[in-house]
Amino acid sequence: MRNTAAALAAFLMAVGFVELSLWVATPERGIAHALLWSGLALQGTWLALAFAGGFVAQGPAAAAMGLGPGRLGIARIAVACVGVILMGSAGHVALSVLALRDSGTLGAIDDSIRAAAGPSRVLAFVAVGLAPGICEEVFFRGTIQHGLARRLPAAAAIVLAALLFGLAHGDLVHGAAAAVLGVYLGVVTWAAGSVRPAIAAHMANNLMGLAAASLPVLRIQPSYAIAAGLAAVALGCLGFVVRGRRP
> Would you call 142 helix, strand, or coil by DSSP?
helix
- Taking the CB of residue 18, how many other CB atoms lie within 10 A of it? 13
Helix, strand, coil shares, percent, the chain, to 5: 80, 0, 20
- Taking the CB of residue 82, how many other CB atoms lie within 10 A of it? 17
Please report which confidence band the pLDDT of residue 138 belongs to, taking 50, 70 and 90 as the band edges.
very high
Determine which of 65-79, 162-176, 189-203, 217-231 has the lowest per-residue pLDDT on average: 217-231
The CA distances from residue 246 to 30, 73, 197, in Å, are: 50, 9, 14
Q: For residue 12, what pLDDT is reported?
A: 52
The Cα–Cα gap between 219 and 203 comes to: 23
Statement: residue 25 has pLDDT above 70:
no
What would you measure as the largest C-alpha separation in the chain, in angstroms?
55
Statement: residue 21 has pLDDT above 50:
no
The CA distances from residue 6 to 41, 47, 51, 196, in Å, are: 16, 11, 11, 19
Residue range 60-69: mean pLDDT, rounded: 77
Statement: residue 135 has pLDDT above 50:
yes
Determine which of 3-12, 38-47, 87-96, 120-129 has the lowest per-residue pLDDT on average: 3-12
Q: For residue 118, what pLDDT is reported?
A: 63
The Cα–Cα gap between 132 and 110 comes to: 15
Statement: residue 174 has pLDDT above 70:
yes
Statement: residue 15 has pLDDT above 70:
no
**Kind and range of the H or E run holding 95:** helix 74-97
Please report which confidence band the pLDDT of residue 117 belongs to, taking 50, 70 and 90 as the band edges.
low
Residue range 79-103: mean pLDDT, rounded: 90
Label residue 30 left, alpha or beta by phi (over 0 means left) and psi (-120 to 50 means alpha): left
- Taking the CB of residue 244, how many other CB atoms lie within 10 A of it? 15
pTM of the predicted model as reported, rounded to 2 decimal places: 0.83
Q: What is the mean pLDDT of the chain?
A: 81
Q: For residue 7, what pLDDT is reported?
A: 47
Q: For residue 236, what pLDDT is reported?
A: 96
The Cα–Cα gap between 7 and 132 comes to: 16
